[in-house]
Amino acid sequence: MLLLNASGCLDALTAPDVVAQLDAFVTKTVTPEARQGNPPVRIAETEHGMLNSIGLANPGRDVFLRETLPRLADTIDKPIWVSVGGFCSRDYVETCEQLARDDVACVELNLSCPNVDEAPESAAEIVRACREVTANPLYAKVSPHTWDMGQIVRAVEEAGADGVSMVNTLRGVALDARLQAKLARGVGGYSGPALKPVALAAVLAARRATSLPIVAMGGVQTGRDALELIACGATHVALGTVLFTDVDAPSRVCAELVEEAQRAGFERPDDAFCVALDAVAKLAN
Amino acid sequence: MSKPRRERRSVVAVEAVGPYALVRVERGGLAPGSPGQFFMLEAPGRVLPRPMSLCLAPPGELAFLLDPVGPGTQALAELEPGDSIHVFGPLGHGFRLDVDRPLLVGGGIGVAPFPYLSEALEQPPAVLGFRSEHHAEAAVLVPHAEIVIDPVLVTEAMPTDRDVLACGPEPMLDAVRALCPDAQLAWEAPMACGFGACYGCVVEIDGELKRLCVEGPVLCSS
């Protein structure tokens, strides 16, 4: 199992000490053109999580490749996963074409940002187009906004994905005292502890549909949370919102994960892989 | 600059200062940093910590003045001695202290960083504006302060031939900037992380959205 960060939840250049605790670093999503992101206010706390409407702020593909990526490679001693975004299939393809470099370990296609307009093509169509132009390992980050995760996962696998990442944030709204949206854009992506049951269900459904590696994320605060995702079929685990509140979270979660696995009767965390799959299947029937 | 650290610290006391709460915690291995820098304080029962500038650094302690207006600040104000919370900092960029004729200009809870700043600048004059006599009780923390109460505004009481260091609500900072284009202004924005990870606290600087936690919270206005 690898421990990663969720894309957009960590800046390796301002917090290399946090990255040092992870097994690999996932960049903020890169788009073809530079983006300032959405106007502020773009975060809001809720009772059990938080909303963000950052909107894929990034320096754009050219600056990323020329400046950010070399600086990242100099600063951190971890495999770099590049998160790729876009507004049509061609955006993704053109970025993938330029990521055949030694400093890129993996490409994660962000197919599910709730804070920008979606590409018109399906996730599988974008994966298929990118597969044709890159030999990099290719992960598809999919949305939890679906009733049939299995169908989506089978489709991206057939299109050539090497793995899937889930879940991205859920679309949400928060209102202020005057009953107006707290976020300037109105709608944002909901993350934090409340997302964990959604992530567990998504990973279970995906694992029933595929044997591809799954990078699982959504509401992980503790080692126990990570263990539950593994039990549902996660191959790797990523931390998101918890990185905002605890710069020691990766080390802590790793240590807790080993303890929690043993408490649950498993010598190593990976021994708990998929153990929830059968039990939940029986309940569902 | 002092390297930020995250430590679990015990609460020494929470004292009422007018309607505000002065939360005093044990300092432990945390550096106080420079005036205007801030710390992320764990707000019990809430998902996100809250950014608070350092108010005072008495020996062995760090103290934060806050206005209990929302669920996070209320949870902090309700802490009891012996409770413990995670404290992470110091973070961001504080005030430049290489000024010849400093004047502190504050509004409301914007007074928070001034006691520590006043000490560093050897107690310069200050002009502080509050919405009521009750709120103005916080001025006791700042030496040599002239107090104005709403509807009188700080911009009506402040001399303009000074090196202004200001903290307060946005309309006040805009008005101060109009009078003193070179003023150092401490801004506020909702933050999730405080160290550049979330991109939530952006403000527009020279036409670009920049992270207040990394570029600020103190920005030179010109």
Residue to substitute from A17, A43, A53, A116, interface B, most B β-carbons within 10 A:
A43
pLDDT at B205 over 80: no
- Of the candidates A40, A50, A248, which has its C-beta nearest B192's C-beta? A50
- What is the C-alpha to C-alpha distance for residues B146 and B120, in angstroms, rounded to an integer? 19
pLDDT value of position A167: 96
CB contact under 8 A, A45 and B47: yes
Whether A113 is a known active-site residue: answer yes
- Of the candidates B72, B190, B198, which has its C-beta nearest A41's C-beta? B190
Beta strands in chain B (DSSP E): 5-17, 20-26, 38-41, 50-53, 61-66, 84-91, 102-107, 126-130, 145-149, 163-167, 184-186, 202-205, 208-211, 218-220
Q: H helices within chain B, ranges in order?
A: 71-77, 114-120, 154-157, 170-179, 212-215
| pLDDT, tens digit, 9 for 90 and up, residues B88-134 | 999 999 999 999 999 999 999 999 999 999 999 999 999 999 999 99
Q: Return the amino acid letter for B190.
A: P
- What is the C-alpha to C-alpha distance for residues A134 and A130, in angstroms, rounded to an integer? 6
Residues 6+ apart with CB under 8 A from A20: A76, A77, A78
CB atoms within 10 A of CB A46: 20
- What is the C-alpha to C-alpha distance for residues B175 and B163, in angstroms, rounded to an integer? 15
- Of the candidates B6, B40, B195, which has its C-beta nearest A248's C-beta? B6
User: Which residues of B fall below an 8 Å CB-CB distance to A?
Assistant: 6, 40, 42, 46-49, 72, 86, 88, 189-193, 195-203, 208-209, 214
- What is the C-alpha to C-alpha distance for residues A212 and A130, in angstroms, rounded to an integer? 18
Question: Which tokens belong to A9?
Answer: 């939840």
CB contact under 8 A, A44 and B203: no
pTM of the complete model: 0.94
Alpha carbon of B210: minimum distance to chain A alpha carbons (Å): 9
Residue to substitute from B188, B193, B204, B211, interface A, most A β-carbons within 10 A:
B193
CB contact under 8 A, B198 and A9: yes
- Tell me the chain A residues in contact with residue B87 when contact means C-beta distances shorter than 8 Å: none
pLDDT at B145 over 80: yes
pLDDT value of position A117: 81
| pLDDT, tens digit, 9 for 90 and up, residues A74-132 | 999 999 999 999 999 999 999 999 999 999 999 999 998 877 888 888 999 999 999 99
* Least trusted range by pLDDT, from A27-36, B182-191, B205-214: B205-214
Any bridge partners for residue B208, and if so which?
B205
pLDDT at B222 over 60: no
Point out the residues of chain A with pLDDT beneath 70. Answer: 279, 281-285
- Average pLDDT, integer, range B64-92: 97
